[in-house]
Amino acid sequence: MFFKESNPFTERKINHSNSLPTVLHPIVKERTNQLVQQAADKGIVIVITDGFRSADDQNRLYEKGRSAEGSIVTYAKGGESYHNFGLAIDFALKTPSGKVIWDMEYDGNKNGKADWTEVVSLAKTLGFEWGGDWAKFKDYPHLQMDFGLTIADLQNGERPAKSSLTADTQ
């Protein structure tokens, strides 16, 4: 698969529907499925632990480490996360015994490379941005596609078109 444009994710093909999604954007879903398959082809089993997240669900996560027990897992309140717009996923690794892990050093396919690093590399080639690259709060399980839209754009009703990316298979 290759992209026709040098950076198709900055192209702003916008659907100005104010409706909030209740599922993953079709391209995010397609690329997620490709990521799962490409990882499996390398002997890595990944689990998608989260995708679309409602504002209420986001607020519950935001409360962790604040008014709810646990560690802080996000700085985004409801409506402030790409999850709330169907543009983000979270992933974990699955061991042969079926255990779901978030171990960035784990090398289950025994090729001398951390499986996590391999998955992130695959995700980036599919157009995902990785939360582990962020300067402030590192969100290592997080992958998103922003389609050139900021959270403010999304809050103001802008939406990526269902066909915002141009990709061909070879």
Q: What pTM, to 2 d.p., does this model score?
A: 0.83
In this structure, the number of other CB atoms found within 10 A of the CB of residue 129 comes to: 18
Contact 36, 48 (CB under 8 A): yes
Sorted by where each begins, the domain ranges of the chain are: 23-53+86-161
Q: What is the pLDDT of residues 96-153, one digit of tens each?
A: 999 999 999 999 999 999 999 999 999 999 999 999 999 998 999 999 999 999 999 9
CATH number of 23-53+86-161: 3.30.1380.10
Contact 161, 87 (CB under 8 A): no
